[in-house]
Chains A and B, each alone.
Chain A
């Protein structure tokens, strides 16, 4: 199985700050990566797919980049509604696997 390692496990950011979350795959996943945001008691919401494509309706302050085994999610200007847990997911091979999550809070 492809292991997905996320870092950091948690972080806090001030309003307006730029935030970056990392995701490393145990093998090359050829940009087959998605990012999700999950708020307490809710289902995950797709933010980014194909490593860098923004899902319809997602604010443009979210962006994704990376290739090979290393990927990142950037929030260019932290807003209060961006609090939540962020997960990466590889879509290259079965079984599909997720990172363990990054909890993002407002400082």
Chain B
């Protein structure tokens, strides 16, 4: 069965960067886009972008250009998202999500809480 296991909560300082991970299992990691989604407390969901681990191609929501960088390690079936120049607006839960061949998400990681605070 498809499983997405994310890294733990992060407390980071303003202006710094953070890299969170999503380890995939139960399917062929290199064959399907991995998506990332942001959820601020009490707020809705924002799609950040996807990476195709097979060749490293990416597509970003323009809003997150320069903020998020998506990478993937085929050898460990792990996708990563680095967030840079962090501000309080980046404090949120970040999910990786997988739709296999679709752009709806049947599989989600458990979420990683990023808190930006001095």
Contacts and interface: CB of A to CB of B under 8 A. Distances in A.
Interface string A15-36: 0000000000000000010101
B69 to A, nearest CB: 17
Number of chain B interface residues as a range: 20 to 34
B45 A44 contact: yes
A94 B63 CA distance: 12
Given A43-B110, A44-B108, A91 B102 contact: yes
Q: How large is the interface on A (under 10, 10 to 19, 20 to 34, 35 or more residues)?
A: 20 to 34
Contacts of A46: 104-106
Contacts of B106: 46, 55
Nearest to B6: A43
Contact of B59 (A91, A94, A100): A94
A49 B108 contact: no
B104 A91 contact: yes
A12 to B, nearest CB: 18
